[in-house]
Amino acid sequence: MSSFRSAVITFPGSNCDRDMAVAIEDVCGGPVHRVWHGDATLPEGLDFIALPGGFSYGDYLRSGAMAARSPVMRAVVEAAARGVTVLGVCNGFQVLTEAGLLPGALMRNAGIRFVCRDVALTVANAHSRFTSDYSEGQRITIPVAHHDGNYFADDATLDRLEGEGLVAFRYAEDVNGSSRNIAGVLNAAGNVLGMMPHPERMIEPAHGGSDGRALFTSVVRGLVAA
């Protein structure tokens, strides 16, 4: 295959952008372009765009709210509309919901506290371009580290997400009060995924596990198949 072209967006306050870039480079291959939030354009011919975790703009107003209105996000929204694969992790998930690329919102954890630990997830949909290297119902361990990870959407939206198979991952137990234990959701077209857990932190045994690796191999496999 031709080389995998990806970009990791860095907002002021992003702090998982390097981890994300290292994971993509390791699993998917390079080049991984690093793009600053103030850039109005993205590199040409991208296969994959990742929005990393962190505390963009200090979580001012609402987590992800300011970043979602930054110049680069207009380009990300356009790329997503063209079908480019877009992943948002943690703060990146919050940015995707604030930008309207994914339904719902991420509220303060129901238990008020910041949660930072490994959690068990189940793969709810193993047919997406992000999850095809997992099996349906597979239990995996991925760390979370967030204060605002409590996924909320109205019942009609939740029913639609579940009915259309757009829930990608669920927490195996209640972690933060999320509606129906949703940990990650896809957009209707299936090319945008947002998730609170950090797959880029579980890439090799030295991380304590490598359950996150299959997400990145799935993305590469999806492009080869396309």
Partner 1 sequence: MSKSTKVRVYVSLKNGVLDPQGRAIHHAIEGLGFSGVQDVRAGRLIELEVDESVTDAALDEMAAKLLANQVIENYRIERVAA
In the complex with partner 1, the residue whose CB is nearer, 88 or 222, is 88
Tokens describing residue 85: 């694969």
What is the closest distance, in whole angstroms, from the C-beta atom of residue 90 to partner 1 in the complex? 18
Residue with tokens 């950090």: 198
What is the closest distance, in whole angstroms, from the C-beta atom of residue 217 to partner 1 in the complex? 33
In the complex with partner 1, the residue whose CB is nearer, 154 or 204, is 154
**Geometric angle at alpha carbon 217, from 215 and 220, rounded to 5°:** 115
The Cα-based distances of 21 to 106, 115, 120 in angstroms read 24, 24, 24
State how far the Cα of 128 lies from the Cα of 114, in Å rounded to an integer. Answer: 30
Residue 42 CB contacts under 8 Å (≥ 6 apart), including other chains: 7, 33, 35, 49, 72, 75, 76, 79
What is the closest distance, in whole angstroms, from the C-beta atom of residue 208 to partner 1 in the complex? 29
State how far the Cα of 101 lies from the Cα of 82, in Å rounded to an integer. Answer: 13
Number of residues in contact with partner 1, rule: CB under 8 A?
A: 20
Tell which one of 33, 34, 69, 221 touches partner 1 (CB under 8 A).
69
Restricting to residues 143-182, name those near partner 1 by CB under 8 A: 150, 152-154, 177
Contact call for residue 56 and partner 1 (CB under 8 A): no
What is the closest distance, in whole angstroms, from the C-beta atom of residue 226 to partner 1 in the complex? 32
State how far the Cα of 146 lies from the Cα of 109, in Å rounded to an integer. Answer: 8
Tell which one of 30, 83, 111, 208 touches partner 1 (CB under 8 A).
111
Task: Considering only the stretches 25-33, 62-70, 115-123, 129-137, report the one whose residues sit in contact with partner 1 under the rule CB under 8 A.
Answer: 62-70
Instruction: Tell me, residue by residue from 91 to 110, as one string, x for binding to partner 1 by CB under 8 A and - for no binding.
Output: ------xx----xxx-xxxx
The catalytic residue positions are: 90, 198, 200
Tokens describing residue 153: 């959407």
What is the closest distance, in whole angstroms, from the C-beta atom of residue 109 to partner 1 in the complex? 7
State how far the Cα of 124 lies from the Cα of 138, in Å rounded to an integer. Answer: 8
* Site residues, partner 1 (CB under 8 A): 61-62, 65, 69, 97-98, 103-105, 107-112, 150, 152-154, 177
